[in-house]
Amino acid sequence: MHKHKTGLTRRESLQVGYSGLMGLGLPSILAGQARAETSEQYNAVLNGKKPKQVIIVFCTGAISHHDTFDMKPDAPAEVRGDFNPIQTSIPGLHVCEHLPKLAAHADKYAVVRSFSHKDNNHLMSTHHVLTGELQPGGFFDKIASRTDWPNYSGALDYLRPRRDGIPSGVNLPTFLVQSPLIWPGQHAGLCGAKHDPWQINGDPNNKDFKVDALTLSPGLDVNRISDRNSLLGDLNQQRNRLARTAAARRMTSEQELAYSILTSSKLAEAFIMEKEEDTTRDRYGRNMTGQSLLLGRRLLQVGVPVVQVNIGRVQNWDSHSNIFPRLKDALLPPLDQGVSALLEDLDQMGMMDDTFVMMLGEFGRTPKINKNAGRDHWGPCFFGVFAGGGVRGGQVIGKSDPHAAYPITRPYSPEDLGATVYSLLGIDPSSEIRDRFDRPLTLNRGEPIHELFS
Protein backbone atom coordinates (compact mmCIF):
# COMPACT_ATOMS: atom_id res chain seq x y z
CA MET A 1 0.00 0.00 0.00
CA HIS A 2 1.40 3.42 -1.01
CA LYS A 3 1.80 5.78 1.88
CA HIS A 4 2.33 9.52 1.59
CA LYS A 5 5.16 10.90 3.70
CA THR A 6 2.69 12.72 5.91
CA GLY A 7 1.38 9.35 7.03
CA LEU A 8 -1.70 9.25 4.84
CA THR A 9 -2.43 6.20 2.76
CA ARG A 10 -3.48 6.68 -0.85
CA ARG A 11 -7.03 5.82 0.19
CA GLU A 12 -6.96 8.40 2.97
CA SER A 13 -5.59 10.99 0.56
CA LEU A 14 -8.51 10.44 -1.74
CA GLN A 15 -10.72 10.72 1.31
CA VAL A 16 -9.24 14.16 1.94
CA GLY A 17 -9.64 15.13 -1.68
CA TYR A 18 -13.27 14.13 -1.80
CA SER A 19 -15.31 13.13 1.22
CA GLY A 20 -13.04 14.78 3.76
CA LEU A 21 -12.98 18.09 1.93
CA MET A 22 -16.22 18.07 0.01
CA GLY A 23 -18.01 17.04 3.18
CA LEU A 24 -16.97 20.22 4.91
CA GLY A 25 -19.86 22.11 3.36
CA LEU A 26 -17.35 24.65 2.04
CA PRO A 27 -17.83 26.75 -1.09
CA SER A 28 -15.62 25.68 -3.97
CA ILE A 29 -13.38 28.54 -4.93
CA LEU A 30 -13.00 28.64 -8.67
CA ALA A 31 -11.64 31.35 -10.90
CA GLY A 32 -12.82 34.63 -9.41
CA GLN A 33 -14.69 37.46 -10.96
CA ALA A 34 -13.02 40.81 -11.36
CA ARG A 35 -13.15 43.14 -8.38
CA ALA A 36 -15.83 45.78 -8.51
CA GLU A 37 -14.69 49.16 -9.73
CA THR A 38 -14.57 52.07 -7.35
CA SER A 39 -17.52 54.46 -7.33
CA GLU A 40 -18.26 57.74 -5.61
CA GLN A 41 -21.30 56.24 -3.91
CA TYR A 42 -19.52 53.65 -1.82
CA ASN A 43 -16.34 55.68 -1.43
CA ALA A 44 -18.45 58.26 0.35
CA VAL A 45 -19.59 55.59 2.83
CA LEU A 46 -16.09 54.23 3.38
CA ASN A 47 -14.74 57.77 3.66
CA GLY A 48 -11.36 56.69 2.38
CA LYS A 49 -11.03 53.89 4.92
CA LYS A 50 -10.58 50.18 4.34
CA PRO A 51 -13.60 47.88 3.81
CA LYS A 52 -15.48 46.79 6.90
CA GLN A 53 -16.69 43.52 8.34
CA VAL A 54 -20.41 43.04 8.89
CA ILE A 55 -22.32 41.18 11.58
CA ILE A 56 -26.05 40.77 10.99
CA VAL A 57 -28.15 40.21 14.09
CA PHE A 58 -31.25 38.83 12.42
CA CYS A 59 -34.44 38.66 14.48
CA THR A 60 -36.08 36.01 12.35
CA GLY A 61 -39.87 36.13 12.30
CA ALA A 62 -39.87 39.93 12.66
CA ILE A 63 -39.29 41.78 15.90
CA SER A 64 -41.98 44.30 16.87
CA HIS A 65 -40.92 47.91 16.42
CA HIS A 66 -43.82 49.19 18.58
CA ASP A 67 -42.55 47.26 21.58
CA THR A 68 -38.81 47.90 21.27
CA PHE A 69 -37.30 50.87 19.40
CA ASP A 70 -40.28 52.86 18.07
CA MET A 71 -42.68 52.98 20.97
CA LYS A 72 -45.82 55.12 20.87
CA PRO A 73 -46.77 55.81 24.52
CA ASP A 74 -49.39 58.41 23.53
CA ALA A 75 -51.23 56.12 21.14
CA PRO A 76 -54.44 54.26 22.07
CA ALA A 77 -53.99 51.17 24.26
CA GLU A 78 -54.54 48.77 21.34
CA VAL A 79 -51.54 50.35 19.61
CA ARG A 80 -49.12 51.25 22.40
CA GLY A 81 -49.18 47.83 24.07
CA ASP A 82 -48.16 46.81 27.59
CA PHE A 83 -44.63 48.16 27.81
CA ASN A 84 -43.31 51.55 28.84
CA PRO A 85 -40.43 53.47 27.25
CA ILE A 86 -37.32 54.34 29.22
CA GLN A 87 -34.77 57.07 28.70
CA THR A 88 -31.51 55.96 27.11
CA SER A 89 -28.06 57.46 27.53
CA ILE A 90 -29.02 59.91 24.76
CA PRO A 91 -31.53 62.62 25.76
CA GLY A 92 -34.78 62.24 23.85
CA LEU A 93 -34.06 58.69 22.67
CA HIS A 94 -36.31 56.15 24.35
CA VAL A 95 -36.50 52.36 24.07
CA CYS A 96 -38.48 49.60 25.72
CA GLU A 97 -38.15 49.15 29.48
CA HIS A 98 -37.04 45.56 28.87
CA LEU A 99 -33.93 46.72 27.01
CA PRO A 100 -32.07 48.46 29.86
CA LYS A 101 -28.57 47.40 28.77
CA LEU A 102 -29.08 48.60 25.22
CA ALA A 103 -30.54 51.81 26.61
CA ALA A 104 -27.23 52.40 28.39
CA HIS A 105 -25.30 51.96 25.10
CA ALA A 106 -27.43 54.24 22.93
CA ASP A 107 -24.42 56.44 22.21
CA LYS A 108 -22.95 53.54 20.21
CA TYR A 109 -25.83 52.94 17.79
CA ALA A 110 -28.27 54.68 15.47
CA VAL A 111 -31.91 53.69 15.04
CA VAL A 112 -33.62 53.88 11.66
CA ARG A 113 -37.39 54.02 12.16
CA SER A 114 -38.56 54.36 8.57
CA PHE A 115 -37.71 51.13 6.80
CA SER A 116 -40.49 50.07 4.50
CA HIS A 117 -41.39 47.53 1.83
CA LYS A 118 -44.59 46.19 0.32
CA ASP A 119 -44.64 42.57 1.42
CA ASN A 120 -45.89 40.73 4.50
CA ASN A 121 -44.65 37.23 3.69
CA HIS A 122 -41.79 35.82 5.80
CA LEU A 123 -39.91 34.13 2.97
CA MET A 124 -40.06 36.90 0.39
CA SER A 125 -39.32 39.58 2.99
CA THR A 126 -36.37 37.65 4.41
CA HIS A 127 -34.91 37.41 0.92
CA HIS A 128 -35.48 41.13 0.40
CA VAL A 129 -33.72 42.17 3.61
CA LEU A 130 -30.82 39.69 3.44
CA THR A 131 -30.00 40.28 -0.24
CA GLY A 132 -31.05 43.89 -0.80
CA GLU A 133 -33.24 42.88 -3.74
CA LEU A 134 -36.70 41.47 -4.43
CA GLN A 135 -36.88 37.73 -4.86
CA PRO A 136 -36.97 36.99 -8.61
CA GLY A 137 -40.37 35.61 -9.51
CA GLY A 138 -41.40 35.91 -5.91
CA PHE A 139 -44.77 34.71 -4.67
CA PHE A 140 -46.22 33.82 -1.27
CA ASP A 141 -43.94 31.29 0.46
CA LYS A 142 -41.63 30.87 -2.53
CA ILE A 143 -38.82 28.74 -1.16
CA ALA A 144 -35.11 29.21 -1.74
CA SER A 145 -33.73 28.40 -5.18
CA ARG A 146 -30.73 29.08 -7.38
CA THR A 147 -32.69 31.81 -9.15
CA ASP A 148 -32.61 33.87 -5.94
CA TRP A 149 -30.42 36.90 -5.52
CA PRO A 150 -27.17 36.29 -3.62
CA ASN A 151 -26.98 37.16 0.03
CA TYR A 152 -24.31 39.65 1.09
CA SER A 153 -21.55 37.16 1.77
CA GLY A 154 -22.35 35.21 -1.38
CA ALA A 155 -22.02 38.28 -3.58
CA LEU A 156 -18.85 39.31 -1.76
CA ASP A 157 -17.31 35.90 -2.37
CA TYR A 158 -18.37 36.00 -6.02
CA LEU A 159 -16.81 39.40 -6.61
CA ARG A 160 -13.85 39.04 -4.27
CA PRO A 161 -13.14 35.34 -3.69
CA ARG A 162 -10.70 34.25 -0.98
CA ARG A 163 -8.11 31.52 -0.91
CA ASP A 164 -6.70 32.01 2.57
CA GLY A 165 -8.82 29.44 4.38
CA ILE A 166 -11.23 32.00 5.84
CA PRO A 167 -14.80 31.80 4.50
CA SER A 168 -16.43 34.97 3.19
CA GLY A 169 -19.50 34.31 5.30
CA VAL A 170 -20.77 32.24 8.22
CA ASN A 171 -24.42 31.86 9.22
CA LEU A 172 -25.23 30.54 12.69
CA PRO A 173 -26.57 28.93 14.85
CA THR A 174 -29.68 27.87 12.93
CA PHE A 175 -30.71 27.31 9.32
CA LEU A 176 -34.06 28.87 8.54
CA VAL A 177 -36.19 25.98 7.37
CA GLN A 178 -39.63 24.77 8.33
CA SER A 179 -40.41 21.72 6.25
CA PRO A 180 -41.18 22.00 3.40
CA LEU A 181 -40.29 25.69 3.43
CA ILE A 182 -36.65 26.76 3.04
CA TRP A 183 -36.15 30.45 3.66
CA PRO A 184 -34.46 32.28 0.75
CA GLY A 185 -31.70 34.79 1.37
CA GLN A 186 -29.44 32.32 3.17
CA HIS A 187 -27.10 31.47 0.30
CA ALA A 188 -25.42 32.79 -2.84
CA GLY A 189 -28.44 32.14 -5.03
CA LEU A 190 -27.79 32.59 -8.73
CA CYS A 191 -24.06 33.09 -8.12
CA GLY A 192 -23.77 29.39 -7.37
CA ALA A 193 -23.26 27.03 -4.44
CA LYS A 194 -19.49 27.52 -4.45
CA HIS A 195 -20.07 31.02 -3.04
CA ASP A 196 -22.48 29.98 -0.28
CA PRO A 197 -21.60 30.99 3.28
CA TRP A 198 -20.81 28.34 5.84
CA GLN A 199 -23.87 27.20 7.72
CA ILE A 200 -23.23 26.32 11.35
CA ASN A 201 -26.05 24.38 13.00
CA GLY A 202 -25.61 23.99 16.71
CA ASP A 203 -26.00 25.83 19.98
CA PRO A 204 -22.65 27.30 21.10
CA ASN A 205 -24.00 27.26 24.63
CA ASN A 206 -24.00 23.47 24.69
CA LYS A 207 -21.05 21.85 26.43
CA ASP A 208 -20.56 19.43 23.54
CA PHE A 209 -20.75 22.15 20.85
CA LYS A 210 -18.51 21.47 17.91
CA VAL A 211 -18.52 22.34 14.25
CA ASP A 212 -18.88 19.32 12.04
CA ALA A 213 -17.58 21.39 9.13
CA LEU A 214 -14.19 21.42 10.83
CA THR A 215 -14.17 17.75 11.79
CA LEU A 216 -11.80 15.58 9.78
CA SER A 217 -12.80 12.24 8.37
CA PRO A 218 -12.13 9.26 10.66
CA GLY A 219 -8.43 8.48 10.97
CA LEU A 220 -7.25 11.92 9.90
CA ASP A 221 -5.56 14.47 12.11
CA VAL A 222 -4.45 17.99 11.26
CA ASN A 223 -1.00 17.33 12.70
CA ARG A 224 -0.57 14.42 10.29
CA ILE A 225 -1.20 16.56 7.22
CA SER A 226 0.94 19.55 8.04
CA ASP A 227 2.99 19.42 4.85
CA ARG A 228 0.52 21.22 2.61
CA ASN A 229 2.48 21.39 -0.61
CA SER A 230 3.57 17.76 -0.40
CA LEU A 231 0.03 16.56 0.30
CA LEU A 232 -1.50 18.56 -2.50
CA GLY A 233 1.20 17.41 -4.86
CA ASP A 234 0.38 13.80 -4.07
CA LEU A 235 -3.32 14.41 -4.54
CA ASN A 236 -2.71 16.20 -7.82
CA GLN A 237 -0.79 13.21 -9.15
CA GLN A 238 -3.90 11.17 -8.51
CA ARG A 239 -5.96 13.82 -10.27
CA ASN A 240 -4.32 12.91 -13.56
CA ARG A 241 -6.19 9.61 -13.52
CA LEU A 242 -9.49 11.37 -12.95
CA ALA A 243 -9.07 14.41 -15.16
CA ARG A 244 -12.02 13.58 -17.35
CA THR A 245 -14.58 14.10 -14.62
CA ALA A 246 -16.07 17.47 -13.67
CA ALA A 247 -15.35 16.77 -10.01
CA ALA A 248 -11.67 16.35 -10.76
CA ARG A 249 -11.52 19.63 -12.65
CA ARG A 250 -12.71 21.34 -9.44
CA MET A 251 -10.36 19.40 -7.24
CA THR A 252 -7.39 21.76 -7.09
CA SER A 253 -9.28 24.78 -5.80
CA GLU A 254 -11.27 22.67 -3.35
CA GLN A 255 -8.10 21.05 -2.02
CA GLU A 256 -6.46 24.41 -1.59
CA LEU A 257 -9.32 25.98 0.33
CA ALA A 258 -10.23 22.97 2.43
CA TYR A 259 -6.67 22.16 3.37
CA SER A 260 -5.97 25.70 4.46
CA ILE A 261 -9.10 25.64 6.60
CA LEU A 262 -8.24 22.31 8.17
CA THR A 263 -4.78 23.53 9.08
CA SER A 264 -5.79 27.07 10.06
CA SER A 265 -5.49 27.03 13.81
CA LYS A 266 -6.89 30.54 14.22
CA LEU A 267 -10.11 29.59 12.43
CA ALA A 268 -10.50 26.27 14.19
CA GLU A 269 -9.87 27.86 17.57
CA ALA A 270 -12.56 30.48 16.94
CA PHE A 271 -15.08 27.71 17.53
CA ILE A 272 -13.59 26.61 20.84
CA MET A 273 -15.81 28.60 23.15
CA GLU A 274 -13.81 27.50 26.20
CA LYS A 275 -11.06 29.85 25.03
CA GLU A 276 -13.14 32.70 26.42
CA GLU A 277 -13.06 33.63 30.07
CA ASP A 278 -16.07 32.53 32.07
CA THR A 279 -16.76 36.16 32.95
CA THR A 280 -16.97 37.05 29.27
CA ARG A 281 -19.31 34.18 28.52
CA ASP A 282 -21.45 35.16 31.48
CA ARG A 283 -21.58 38.75 30.26
CA TYR A 284 -23.01 37.65 26.89
CA GLY A 285 -25.47 35.32 28.59
CA ARG A 286 -25.34 31.55 28.97
CA ASN A 287 -27.94 30.90 26.30
CA MET A 288 -28.03 30.32 22.55
CA THR A 289 -28.47 34.00 21.73
CA GLY A 290 -25.62 35.22 23.91
CA GLN A 291 -23.13 32.52 22.99
CA SER A 292 -23.97 32.80 19.29
CA LEU A 293 -23.21 36.51 19.39
CA LEU A 294 -19.95 35.76 21.20
CA LEU A 295 -19.04 33.20 18.54
CA GLY A 296 -19.92 35.80 15.92
CA ARG A 297 -17.44 38.20 17.48
CA ARG A 298 -14.76 35.49 17.55
CA LEU A 299 -15.30 34.82 13.84
CA LEU A 300 -14.96 38.51 13.07
CA GLN A 301 -11.68 38.50 14.97
CA VAL A 302 -10.19 35.84 12.69
CA GLY A 303 -11.24 37.74 9.58
CA VAL A 304 -14.63 36.41 8.48
CA PRO A 305 -16.07 39.46 6.68
CA VAL A 306 -19.81 38.64 6.97
CA VAL A 307 -21.33 36.87 9.97
CA GLN A 308 -25.06 36.36 10.36
CA VAL A 309 -26.42 35.43 13.77
CA ASN A 310 -30.03 34.28 13.68
CA ILE A 311 -31.67 35.15 16.97
CA GLY A 312 -33.64 31.99 17.49
CA ARG A 313 -35.14 29.50 15.12
CA VAL A 314 -37.53 30.10 12.23
CA GLN A 315 -40.24 32.63 13.09
CA ASN A 316 -38.80 33.07 16.58
CA TRP A 317 -40.17 36.63 16.80
CA ASP A 318 -43.42 35.88 14.96
CA SER A 319 -45.71 36.68 17.89
CA HIS A 320 -49.30 36.45 16.63
CA SER A 321 -50.52 35.80 20.18
CA ASN A 322 -49.44 36.61 23.74
CA ILE A 323 -46.70 38.86 22.43
CA PHE A 324 -46.02 40.74 25.64
CA PRO A 325 -45.16 37.89 28.02
CA ARG A 326 -43.13 36.26 25.25
CA LEU A 327 -41.11 39.41 24.64
CA LYS A 328 -40.69 40.16 28.32
CA ASP A 329 -39.76 36.68 29.53
CA ALA A 330 -38.12 34.92 26.59
CA LEU A 331 -37.01 37.17 23.76
CA LEU A 332 -35.90 40.62 24.86
CA PRO A 333 -33.67 39.80 27.89
CA PRO A 334 -31.14 37.61 26.01
CA LEU A 335 -31.13 39.98 23.04
CA ASP A 336 -30.53 42.96 25.33
CA GLN A 337 -27.71 41.22 27.18
CA GLY A 338 -26.01 39.65 24.18
CA VAL A 339 -26.04 42.62 21.81
CA SER A 340 -24.93 44.97 24.60
CA ALA A 341 -21.98 42.70 25.36
CA LEU A 342 -21.11 42.56 21.66
CA LEU A 343 -21.07 46.36 21.40
CA GLU A 344 -18.98 46.62 24.56
CA ASP A 345 -16.42 44.14 23.26
CA LEU A 346 -16.15 45.69 19.81
CA ASP A 347 -15.58 49.06 21.43
CA GLN A 348 -13.05 47.87 24.02
CA MET A 349 -11.16 45.71 21.53
CA GLY A 350 -10.80 48.54 19.03
CA MET A 351 -12.97 46.70 16.48
CA MET A 352 -15.89 49.11 16.32
CA ASP A 353 -14.64 51.25 13.46
CA ASP A 354 -13.95 48.17 11.33
CA THR A 355 -17.19 46.31 12.12
CA PHE A 356 -20.67 47.25 10.94
CA VAL A 357 -23.37 45.85 13.23
CA MET A 358 -26.95 45.71 12.09
CA MET A 359 -29.95 44.32 13.95
CA LEU A 360 -33.38 43.98 12.36
CA GLY A 361 -36.07 41.56 11.22
CA GLU A 362 -37.71 41.02 7.86
CA PHE A 363 -40.56 43.46 8.58
CA GLY A 364 -42.43 45.01 11.50
CA ARG A 365 -45.62 44.11 13.35
CA THR A 366 -49.13 45.50 12.95
CA PRO A 367 -49.94 48.71 14.82
CA LYS A 368 -53.13 47.29 16.28
CA ILE A 369 -52.94 44.38 18.72
CA ASN A 370 -55.07 41.50 17.47
CA LYS A 371 -57.75 39.54 19.32
CA ASN A 372 -55.13 37.02 20.50
CA ALA A 373 -53.03 39.71 22.19
CA GLY A 374 -50.43 39.52 19.43
CA ARG A 375 -49.29 41.55 16.46
CA ASP A 376 -49.32 40.34 12.87
CA HIS A 377 -47.02 40.90 9.88
CA TRP A 378 -46.40 44.48 8.74
CA GLY A 379 -44.04 45.45 5.92
CA PRO A 380 -44.94 49.15 5.50
CA CYS A 381 -42.93 50.25 8.55
CA PHE A 382 -40.16 48.69 10.60
CA PHE A 383 -36.84 49.55 12.24
CA GLY A 384 -33.16 48.69 12.23
CA VAL A 385 -30.37 49.33 14.74
CA PHE A 386 -26.88 50.06 13.39
CA ALA A 387 -23.49 50.52 15.02
CA GLY A 388 -19.83 50.62 14.11
CA GLY A 389 -18.29 50.88 10.68
CA GLY A 390 -18.37 54.66 10.87
CA VAL A 391 -21.99 54.93 12.05
CA ARG A 392 -22.63 58.03 14.14
CA GLY A 393 -24.24 56.70 17.28
CA GLY A 394 -26.86 58.35 19.45
CA GLN A 395 -29.17 59.36 16.63
CA VAL A 396 -32.60 58.46 15.28
CA ILE A 397 -33.04 58.47 11.52
CA GLY A 398 -36.50 58.62 10.02
CA LYS A 399 -39.85 58.96 11.70
CA SER A 400 -43.07 56.98 11.66
CA ASP A 401 -46.61 58.26 12.10
CA PRO A 402 -48.29 58.36 15.55
CA HIS A 403 -49.22 54.67 15.28
CA ALA A 404 -45.89 53.54 13.75
CA ALA A 405 -47.88 52.32 10.75
CA TYR A 406 -46.15 54.25 7.97
CA PRO A 407 -43.05 56.41 7.61
CA ILE A 408 -43.74 60.15 7.51
CA THR A 409 -40.18 60.93 6.47
CA ARG A 410 -38.16 59.37 3.68
CA PRO A 411 -38.75 55.59 3.65
CA TYR A 412 -35.65 53.42 3.36
CA SER A 413 -35.90 50.19 1.41
CA PRO A 414 -34.08 46.87 1.69
CA GLU A 415 -32.33 47.95 -1.52
CA ASP A 416 -30.92 50.94 0.38
CA LEU A 417 -29.86 48.61 3.17
CA GLY A 418 -28.09 46.40 0.62
CA ALA A 419 -26.31 49.35 -0.96
CA THR A 420 -25.09 50.36 2.49
CA VAL A 421 -23.80 46.88 3.31
CA TYR A 422 -22.03 46.44 -0.03
CA SER A 423 -20.47 49.88 0.18
CA LEU A 424 -19.05 49.10 3.61
CA LEU A 425 -17.71 45.77 2.34
CA GLY A 426 -15.86 47.69 -0.36
CA ILE A 427 -18.13 46.44 -3.14
CA ASP A 428 -19.69 48.83 -5.64
CA PRO A 429 -23.46 48.22 -5.32
CA SER A 430 -23.78 48.64 -9.09
CA SER A 431 -21.32 45.79 -9.75
CA GLU A 432 -22.18 43.32 -12.46
CA ILE A 433 -22.92 39.72 -11.59
CA ARG A 434 -23.94 36.96 -13.99
CA ASP A 435 -26.54 34.27 -13.68
CA ARG A 436 -26.22 30.64 -14.75
CA PHE A 437 -27.04 31.64 -18.32
CA ASP A 438 -24.18 34.19 -18.23
CA ARG A 439 -26.59 37.10 -18.43
CA PRO A 440 -25.26 40.33 -16.88
CA LEU A 441 -27.20 41.66 -13.89
CA THR A 442 -26.76 44.67 -11.63
CA LEU A 443 -26.05 43.60 -8.07
CA ASN A 444 -28.01 46.29 -6.25
CA ARG A 445 -30.19 49.27 -7.18
CA GLY A 446 -30.40 51.04 -3.85
CA GLU A 447 -28.68 54.07 -2.41
CA PRO A 448 -26.53 53.87 0.72
CA ILE A 449 -28.08 55.36 3.84
CA HIS A 450 -25.61 58.22 4.14
CA GLU A 451 -27.44 59.64 7.15
CA LEU A 452 -26.03 56.81 9.25
CA PHE A 453 -22.55 58.22 8.79
CA SER A 454 -23.23 61.96 8.91
DSSP string, 351-406: -TTTEEEEEE-SSEE-SS--TTS---EE-SSEEEEEESTT---SEEE--B-TTSSS
The pLDDT value given to residue 229: 44
The pLDDT value given to residue 29: 32
The pLDDT value given to residue 214: 57
What confidence tens digit (pLDDT) does each residue in 79-122 have?
Answer: 999 999 999 999 999 999 999 999 999 999 999 999 999 999 99
> What is the number of other CB atoms lying within 10 angstroms of the CB of residue 304?
24
Domains of the chain plus CATH, in order, are 1-30+212-264 (no CATH), 36-205+287-453 (3.40.720.10)
Secondary structure (3-state) at 18: helix
- In angstroms, rounded to a whole number, what is the distance separating the alpha carbons of residues 238 and 259? 16
- In angstroms, rounded to a whole number, what is the distance separating the alpha carbons of residues 290 and 309? 10
> Which among 203, 269, 255 has a CA at the least distance from the CA of 13?
255
The pLDDT value given to residue 313: 87
The pLDDT value given to residue 259: 57
The pLDDT value given to residue 248: 44
CB 444 within 8 A of CB 128: no
Phi, psi of 258 (to 5 degrees): -65, -40
Q: Is the dihedral of CA 184, 188, 193, 199 positive or negative?
A: negative
Query: Which residues of the chain fall below pLDDT 70?
Result: 1-39, 41, 212-265
